[in-house]
């Protein structure tokens, strides 16, 4: 068989391709991985939870007496001034309706009171006549006594008779006034409910005007419409909006890890930047709360004060939801690594470090950690490269390559 130059070239190319393929197959596999460096820097460990803002001193205005509350003169969000702004008006309630039997009884009581009044008037006229007669008798005896024609005993008897008549007259007059009052009370029972005045007339006839107990804003109104209320019924809630604090219910196991004065970050409140706050109080008693999964949890109420000035959070108000990160521990110069590089090996923490392109299993001692990074207490040095999120292909001695170099 005669070889041509063309055949020789084709054969050489095929042999080169087979050789290259064989070389590639003979090389060990390199696993692409994500790398991170062990470095020094600040580390904060926080307790995270959802909280709620609230005004520290909330004042609730209640009805001091039972009566008819008129339609509220203020609206939610209105500014009020202590002792000046009227927040509610109360006037007496209307009398009750009378059924047929109650009306008959009331009319009978009126007739009885009218008769008693007539009787009292007659008794008063009789007592007045007796008083006039006693006065004339006294004047006559007094004149005779002055001329020596009447004895001292007669004078004393006339004087006593006059005093008794005067007392009986006063008693009769008092009885008459009492009977007149009883008649007025009996007639008042027959008063029917009437339509109330509207507009300015209602305000003019109002009996009680309740003013704001503190300067601030109206936070809530129980009911804006006019209605009958009993004494003690809440009407309006008022508070100074700028005087805010934060309340958060922490698990008791988290609450014991923080202390008053701890720094906190307020996030997810609606503004672009996180706000600053400090823990002011950790209540000494826990309470039981059912979680969304139906599990009983022991919770502790923790209170925080804003350190960010009010002008940097003007839109934040009462009962707004926020997200808190309360600092439990902080280090300014800590050797750290990403927490995604850690895994358990025989019950201890370990990582894969990169040594001359190969993955090496390295036990490591971990201290404080948060959701992103962990403190390295031993086993690693600053600058070493560790593999984050190691896959099942990564094991001791495997060749690895930085994934970013393949892009």
Domain that holds residue 306: 46-55+241-330
3-state DSSP call for residue 158?
helix
Tokens of 36: 């991170």
Per-residue pLDDT tens digits for 276-310: 999 999 999 999 999 888 999 999 999 999 999 98
CB-CB contact of 370 with 335 (8 Å): no
Task: For residue 305, give the nearest of 262, 273, 339 by alpha carbon.
Answer: 262
Number of neighbours of residue 127 by Cβ within 10 angstroms: 21
What is the three-state SS of 247-262? EEEEEHHHHCCCCCCC
Assess whether 345 and 389 both reside in one domain: yes
H/E segment holding residue 18? helix 5-26
pLDDT at residue number 203 = 44
* pLDDT band of 16, cuts 50, 70, 90: low
Report if residue 5 sits inside a domain.
no
Report if residue 288 sits inside a domain.
yes
Domains in the chain: how many in total?
Answer: 4
Tokens of 382: 């600053």
* pLDDT band of 24, cuts 50, 70, 90: very low
Report if residue 234 sits inside a domain.
yes
3-state DSSP call for residue 349?
strand
Assess whether 227 and 246 both reside in one domain: no
Assess whether 278 and 219 both reside in one domain: no
| DSSP designation for 308 | S
Assess whether 338 and 319 both reside in one domain: no
Report if residue 151 sits inside a domain.
yes
3-state DSSP call for residue 64?
coil
Report if residue 235 sits inside a domain.
yes
From CA 152, how far away is CA 78, in angstroms rounded? 84
Assess whether 66 and 212 both reside in one domain: yes
% the chain with pLDDT above 70: 90
Report the DSSP beta bridge partners of residue 309: none
Report if residue 249 sits inside a domain.
yes
Assess whether 89 and 169 both reside in one domain: no
Per the prediction, the chain carries an average pLDDT of 88
Entry pTM: 0.65
From CA 349, how far away is CA 359, in angstroms rounded? 16
CA distances from 200 to 88, 197, 205, 212 (A): 15, 8, 9, 21
Assess whether 232 and 269 both reside in one domain: no
- The enclosing domain of 66 has a CATH number of 2.40.50.100
Assess whether 323 and 258 both reside in one domain: yes
- The enclosing domain of 354 has a CATH number of 2.40.420.20
Phi, psi dihedrals of residue 17, rounded to the nearest 5°:
-65, -45
Query: Dihedral (C-alpha) 155, 161, 165, 171: value to the nearest 10 degrees?
Result: 120
Assess whether 110 and 172 both reside in one domain: yes
Report if residue 76 sits inside a domain.
yes
From CA 103, how far away is CA 185, in angstroms rounded? 14
pLDDT at residue number 25 = 43
Assess whether 222 and 272 both reside in one domain: no
Task: For residue 315, give the nearest of 284, 349, 271, 263 by alpha carbon.
Answer: 271
3-state DSSP call for residue 155?
helix
Report if residue 200 sits inside a domain.
no
Per-residue pLDDT tens digits for 176-219: 999 999 999 998 888 887 755 544 444 445 578 999 999 999 99
């Amino acid at each position: 068989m005669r070889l041509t130059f063309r055949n020789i070239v084709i054969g050489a190319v095929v042999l080169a391709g087979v050789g290259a393929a064989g070389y590639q197959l003979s090389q060990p596999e390199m696993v692409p991985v994500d790398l991170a460096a062990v470095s020094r820097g600040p580390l904060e460990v926080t307790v995270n939870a959802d909280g709620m803002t609230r005004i520290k001193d909330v004042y609730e205005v209640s009805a001091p007496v039972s009566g008819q509350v008129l339609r509220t003169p203020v609206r939610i969000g209105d500014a009020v001034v202590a002792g000046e702004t009227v927040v509610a008006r109360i006037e007496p309630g209307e009398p009750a309706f009378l059924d047929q039997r109650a009306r008959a009884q009331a009319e009978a009581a009126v007739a009885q009171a009218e008769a008693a009044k007539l009787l009292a008037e007659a008794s008063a006229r009789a007592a007045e006549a007796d008083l006039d007669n006693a006065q004339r008798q006294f004047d006559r005896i007094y004149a005779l006594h002055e001329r020596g024609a009447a004895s001292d005993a007669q004078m004393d008897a006339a004087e006593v008779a006059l005093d008794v008549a005067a007392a009986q007259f006063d008693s009769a007059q008092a009885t008459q006034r009492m009977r007149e009052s009883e008649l007025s009370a009996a007639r008042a029972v027959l008063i029917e409910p009437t339509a109330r005045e509207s507009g300015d007339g209602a305000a003019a006839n109002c009996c009680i005007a309740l003013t704001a107990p503190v300067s601030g804003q109206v936070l809530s109104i129980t009911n804006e419409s006019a209605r009958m209320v009993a004494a003690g019924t809440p009407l309006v809630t008022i508070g100074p909006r700028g005087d805010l604090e934060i309340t958060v219910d922490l698990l008791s196991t988290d609450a014991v890890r923080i202390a008053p004065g701890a720094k906190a970050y307020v996030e997810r409140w609606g503004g672009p930047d996180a706000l600053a706050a400090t823990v002011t109080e950790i209540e000494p008693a826990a309470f039981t709360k059912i979680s969304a999964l139906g599990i009983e949890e022991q919770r502790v109420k923790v209170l925080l004060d804003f350190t960010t000035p009010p002008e940097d959070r003007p839109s934040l108000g009462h009962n707004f939801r926020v997200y808190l990160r309360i600092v439990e521990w902080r280090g300014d110069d800590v050797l750290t690594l990403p927490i995604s590089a850690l895994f358990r090996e025989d019950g201890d923490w370990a990582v894969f470090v990169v040594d001359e392109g190969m993955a090496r299993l390295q036990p490591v001692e971990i201290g404080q950690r948060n959701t992103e990074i962990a403190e390295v207490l031993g086993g690693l040095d600053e600058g070493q490269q560790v593999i984050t999120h190691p896959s099942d292909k990564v094991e001791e001695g495997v060749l690895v390559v930085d994934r970013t170099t393949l892009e």
